[in-house]
Amino acid sequence: MTRSRSTLLVSVLVLVILAGLGVTLAAAQTPKAGGHLNIMLREDLSPGFAVHESSTISTSFPSMPCFSNLVIFDQGKRPETPDNIVGELAEKWSWQDNFRNLVFFLRKNVKWHDGQPFTSKDVKFTFDMLREAPEATAKLRINPRKDWYANVEAVEAADAHTVVFRLKRPQPGLLNMLASGYTPIYAAHVNPATYRTSCVGTGPFKVKEWRKGEFVDYVKNPDYFVKGRPYLDSLRYVIIKERGTRVAALQAGQLDVSFPGETTKTAAEQLKKAVPQLVITPVAQAVSDNIIMNTKKAPFDNPKVRQAVSYAIDRRALIQAVHQGGAVPGASMQPKPYGVWGLLEKDLASLPGYGKPEDMKARARKLLGEAGITAQNPLRVEMATRAIAIYVDMASFVINELKQVGIEATLKQVETAQWHAMATRGDYQIGANLTGLGVDEPDANYYENYACGSPRNYSQYCSEEVMKMVEQQSQELNPQKRLQMLAALQRKVEEDAARPILDWKLDYFTFWPHVKGLVPHDNIYNFGRMADVWRDK
């Protein structure tokens, strides 16, 4: 009797404790409303909130809370696969006419931050402006992603809450581009130039104040179209130019969240040692280190010389030496598991720069010999790069690699003000470059960086065969078939040394444990809407 009573007592006690634990766990996981977060920014917004006039994360990331897209990569899921695209201003969408028409059914009762109603007119206004359609009612000062919408024939506002994208040919990848952080909807009643100084969006937060060079303050949008969101009352993006101060501010708890792409592997290790409770998530940045070679000028108009350069650079050694292991090898699309379309590790083995280093360098010397370049007659070139540490470190490594095969390269540091102008003009021989992909979508990458005549195709590489492959994969509706076509395309551009990819950088995204609901993606450009983020403190 006594034993059974005490057993009962223990059982009840255990149940009570378990129930209590359950309640505690449930409470810990239940989002709490209210609170404020300080988020790191490394430079001021440029040009303001005008995302469509910019290709830098310093604009897109701090602007994310203000805007909404038609669709977006699920902010709560890390991989950016087509399956993870969710509706934002669009409640649902439908591909019609064999992927030639994309119809969006928009949410009703959505308001702009100035109180005006959101309608299909705003969507038409935005995309007519982006693709520079004749009927566009506004023009952007600069339009870096016009090529993304080259296949859009018309955007029709069928009614106030239905929009139809009519395409020239099927293009399933369009939806990926619409889900990028670079594709917010602008208000038709606001001059696009206004976004350079202020922000009228439909997003979860409203801009309260932008103090130039200091911070951007946001407050909760009470009219946000998702009921119960955002959880936080306010956000502050704090601009800190000095890297050491940024890290110290994060460490001291003055910042709750780091900046995407900010934390290298070494920095993450130091941070974790100093503040063990920090949450550090290794993710891909969707930014590659690559070599641009001017294919219109000697000596890099000779494919053998370009291939020799590509063979000479030991990718794995570069990842260790320059990034201390904080990058992964890959071809022109971000490799798996970070990206959808990239080559597998085993497929990379046959590409230039991935074999045994001595074999690769021997191959490079042979190719150079065939091009008439020998130890007695070395090739002397100027390696241009931006005067920023991450560029210079990579360029210095490459220079050393090239030296080993008989290419004498001298480093030329180019100020940011001149870099893109110089690269677009083709006013260089060879350069060490970084390229960020706004979205893991082959169409965005190949039309931007490899297509004949594209201003961002700095190598001015132009191949009819490659363009045909790009067009074919773009309209392929079967994802498996498209994947195979893309594998062939990636091999082709690497073998041609169109723009040899050296690695894909990783970010060790860091925040304090009281920050909940913030899921970094494998692409620094597409997360940060902050609607589902809450503070557990």
Which residues of this protein are in contact with other proteins, per CB under 8 A? Answer: 44, 46-48, 53-56, 59, 141-144, 193, 196-197, 211-215, 236, 238, 240-242, 244-245, 248-249, 251-255, 274-275, 415-421, 424-425, 455-456
Q: What is the DSSP letter of 335?
A: P
Angstrom distance (rounded) from CA 113 to CA 157: 22
Rounded to a whole number of angstroms, the minimum distance from the CB of residue 272 to other proteins is 15
A 10 A CB-CB count for 311 gives 28
Rounded to a whole number of angstroms, the minimum distance from the CB of residue 176 to other proteins is 19
Rounded to a whole number of angstroms, the minimum distance from the CB of residue 57 to other proteins is 11
**Residue type (1 letter), 276:** P
A 10 A CB-CB count for 377 gives 10
Report the candidate in 265, 232, 271 with the shortest Cα–Cα distance to residue 249: 271
Task: Compare residues 443 and 476 and give the one whose CB is closer to other proteins.
Answer: 443
Rounded to a whole number of angstroms, the minimum distance from the CB of residue 139 to other proteins is 9
Rounded to a whole number of angstroms, the minimum distance from the CB of residue 47 to other proteins is 7
Task: Compare residues 389 and 417 and give the one whose CB is closer to other proteins.
Answer: 417
Max Cα-Cα span within the chain: 100
Task: Compare residues 251 and 472 and give the one whose CB is closer to other proteins.
Answer: 251
For residue 83, give every residue at least 6 positions away whose Cβ sits within 8 Å of its Cβ, in sequence order, or none.
Answer: none
Task: Compare residues 215 and 428 and give the one whose CB is closer to other proteins.
Answer: 215
Task: Compare residues 77 and 412 and give the one whose CB is closer to other proteins.
Answer: 412
Rounded to a whole number of angstroms, the minimum distance from the CB of residue 54 to other proteins is 5
Task: Compare residues 45 and 319 and give the one whose CB is closer to other proteins.
Answer: 45
Report the candidate in 335, 279, 272 with the shortest Cα–Cα distance to residue 506: 335
For the stretch 483-496, what's the b/e string if a residue is b when 16 or more beta carbons lie within 10 angstroms of its beta carbon? eebbbebbbbbbeb
Rounded to a whole number of angstroms, the minimum distance from the CB of residue 425 to other proteins is 7
Distances (CA, A) of 308 to 305, 348, 352, 373, 535: 5, 17, 9, 11, 53
Angstrom distance (rounded) from CA 530 to CA 216: 14
Task: Compare residues 102 and 232 and give the one whose CB is closer to other proteins.
Answer: 232
Rounded to a whole number of angstroms, the minimum distance from the CB of residue 337 to other proteins is 27
Angstrom distance (rounded) from CA 299 to CA 523: 35
Contact 393, 322 (CB under 8 A): yes
Task: Compare residues 81 and 254 and give the one whose CB is closer to other proteins.
Answer: 254
